[in-house]
Amino acid sequence: MWIQKRLRLPAVRRGFHLITDLLVAELPELEGLTIGTAHFFLQHTSASLSINENADPTVRHDFEQYFNRAVPENAPYFQHTQEGPDDMPAHLKAAMLGTSVTIPIMNGELALGTWQGIYLGEHRTHGGRRWLVATLMGQ
């Protein structure tokens, strides 16, 4: 069975946000699959998806601090700045982290590890609502 949905994510502030529960809530079909794969693809170039620690909120803070230092705003060598000082840094952060994740499905659930969650990395100060394509494949 194949299921594909385009999901509209809520607008969030700049930073890293756990969206695992939101995605599962939008995909009730997941419960009907005993084995398979879930693929999530973010249709944007200035936000990212990743899997990481879901228990301690300081991880999300530390991620934001690290990436802001690794890719600073207002770097004198950036030419792509028409949309503001967070424009090119947002593209670079998204390229570094990626825009998709793939997770096994086991017995109607995403087979994430005990401390794993899906993050939306919002890399723009005013990114707005984001589109995500979810594809479930399985039986």
Q: Which of 76, 73, 77 is nearest to 89 (CA)?
A: 73
- Report residues of the chain scoring pLDDT below 50: none
Angle formed by the axes of helices 87-97 and 58-70, nearest 10°: 120
| pLDDT at residue 67 in the model | 97
Domains along the chain with CATH numbers: 2-73+81-138 (2.60.120.460)
Q: What pLDDT is attached to residue 85?
A: 95
Residue 61 pLDDT = 97
**pLDDT value at residue 9:** 98
Selection from 10, 38, 52 nearest residue 109 by Cα: 38
Q: For 93, which DSSP code?
A: H
Percent of the chain with pLDDT over 70: 100
